[in-house]
Structure 1
Amino acid sequence: MTVSLSATDALSGVDRITYRIDGRNWSTYAGPFVLTDGQHLVEYLAADLAGLTEAVRSIAISVDTAPPSSVVAISGQSGANGWFISNVTVVLNATDATSGVASISYKIDTGAWLAYAGPFLLGEGRHHVEYYATDVAGIVETLHTLDVSIDITAPTVVASVSGTLGANGWYVSDVAVSLNGSDATSGLASLSYRVDGLVWTTYSGAFVLTDGRHLVEYFATDFAGLSGPIQSLTVAVDTTPPATVATLTGQAGSNGWFVSNVTVILNATDALSGIANLSYRIDNGSWQAYSAPFLLAEGLHQVDFLAIDLAGNVEVLQSLNVAIDTTPPISSAIVSGTLGSNGWYVSNATISLTAIDATSGIARIVYRIDGGVWTNYSGFFVVSEGTHTIEFFAIDLAGITEGIHSITVDVDTTGPSSNAAL
Structure 2
Amino acid sequence: MRRVAGLFVALLLLVGGLASPARAAQTLTWTADDGITAYKSAPTSASAGETTIVFENSAATGNTTGMPHTLTFDTSTEGYNHDVNLNILANPFDANNGRHEATVTLTPGRYRFFCSIPGHSTMVGELVVTDGPGPDPDTTPPTVTATAAGTQDGDGNYVGTATVTVNATDNSGGSGVKTVEYSLDNAAFQAYTAPVAVTAVGSHTFRSRATDNSGNVSAIGSLSFTVVEPAPDEDTTPPTVNHTLAGTQDDDGNYVGSATATLTATDDDSGVDRIEYSLDGAAFTAYSAPVVVSTAGMHMLHYRATDKAGNTSAEKMAHFTVVPAEEPDTTPPTVVAEVDGEQNENGAYVGRATVTVTANDVDSEVASIQYALDSGAWLAYTAPVVVTGLGAHTVRARATDTAGNASPEKTVTFTVVGSGSDACEVPDTRATVVIDGDDTGIPNVDTGDGCTINDLIDEYASYPTHAAFVRHVETVTAALVAGGTLTKRQQGTIVRAAARSDIGSFAR
With normalisation by structure 1, the TM-score equals 0.35
Rg (Cα) greater in structure? 1
More strand by share: 1
With normalisation by structure 2, the TM-score equals 0.30
More helix by share: 2
